[in-house]
Chain A
């Protein structure tokens, strides 16, 4: 079946450094969604990308959707302690069922 893979699984960065997580699908996606889950919290929707090659920004966060619509990335510039959490990508399979990646857990070192 379709798989959505994320790397890295864990990332420790110094506060102020940049961070990037990558998402790869075994099949072409009609869209990709990104969610953030704070420690002890629940996943919260961040953004959805639909178009091939699409780039969207939310303040220090930059989201990209690959030209082939099989991969995506989330880049955070100058991380802050509030960025701590797990970042998930998710995409629909052929049956329109959302498949979540395993997530990338970001830890910020002060």
Chain B
């Protein structure tokens, strides 16, 4: 199995630019999660999907952040416009079942730097 795939692995952009992060979950997994990790705040859950439907987006920081899952094998997290405080590592994770209780399999992450 390829595991969870994320792209790009690294992104450097300037403040105000649009950033799109991509994720391909493990085939057959029903849940997908987006996390943000920083030294100050640790690992924060931004949003998660069950069967392609957003279930809880209470962790999304503000309207500049949006996430979509158009099909079972693809999800995007978009930041528009980006700000320096968005600099972080963004992880995508998937889980086999449609509950939050099961093991999560993390992708390698996207390291975002907003100048």
Listed in ascending order, the chain A residues whose CB lies under 8 Å from chain B are: 30-31, 33, 41-45, 48, 88, 92-93, 95-103
Contacts and interface: CB of A to CB of B under 8 A. Distances in A.
B25 interface: no
Given A43-B104, A95-B100, 20 more contacts: A31-B101, A33-B104, A42-B91, A42-B107, A43-B93, A45-B103, A45-B104, A48-B103, A88-B43, A92-B100, A92-B101, A93-B100, A98-B33, A98-B45, A99-B45, A100-B42, A100-B43, A101-B42, A102-B42, A103-B42
Interface of B is mostly: strand
Contacts, number: 48
Interface residues of B, number: 18
Interface of A is mostly: loop
Given A42-B91, A42-B109, A98 B104 contact: yes
Interface in B18-55: 33, 42-43, 45, 48
